[in-house]
Amino acid sequence: MRDLRNIGWVLLALATCAPAQILNAARGPSVSALPTPIEAIHRGEPGEVELRFRVTPGYHVNSNTPKSEFLIPTTLKLDAPTDIVIGKITYPAGRDMAFPFSPDEKLSVYTGDFALAVVVRPLHTVLPAKYMIRGRLRYQACDNAQCYPPKQLPVQFEVKVEKGKATGTAKRNPAQSPHAHR
């Protein structure tokens, strides 16, 4: 009878812990994109857009410059519409952290929230309008015990291309003589 009570307590403990474990496993390691406000950029001029991301609590992702060639870096690839050029993508410095699986080696990682800066330059010929830029963030998430297969997060943001600033130095045709020349 005593053994049955112990089994009952074990089953009760498993039943109360299992939903939390299932919920955490369903969430799993991931990175999510936070909302990006529409950035106004003058055509013919570079502008910077900040993309913000959040790593699931309890996990980390390798930085863009991991300390080992065997680690998968976090990278952003973007596809822009015609006449819009994607320039430099600036990644934040990673945070050096040691983990139980390798306590003597520090890894360069992102945890919590992190932001990337993307230079966007519409050509001077692009029509003023809103343009959607799409791409993907590739990352590999890990916890304190293991790393998970790499994932790709779809990314998109909008830029509003405006007419260039008037500089007052616009070129005009030179004055023409009213006389006909032969």
| Tens of pLDDT, residues 34-77 | 999 999 999 999 999 999 999 999 999 999 999 888 899 999 99
Q: Quote the percentage of the chain above a pLDDT of 90.
A: 63
- Domains in the chain and their CATH numbers? 29-161 (2.60.40.1250)
Could you tell me which residues are beta bridge partners of residue 154? 136
Q: What's the pLDDT at 29?
A: 78
- How much of the chain is helix, strand and coil, in % rounded to 5? 15, 45, 40
CA distance 155 to 50: 12
> Does residue 16 surpass a pLDDT of 60?
no
> Does residue 24 surpass a pLDDT of 50?
no
> Does residue 127 surpass a pLDDT of 70?
yes
Q: To the nearest 10°, report the CA torsion of 161, 163, 165, 171.
A: 140
Q: What's the pLDDT at 150?
A: 95
- Cβ–Cβ < 8 Å for 61, 140: yes
> Does residue 9 surpass a pLDDT of 70?
no
> Does residue 14 surpass a pLDDT of 80?
no
Q: pLDDT grade, residue 100 (50/70/90)?
A: confident
Give the residue-averaged pLDDT of 128-148: 94
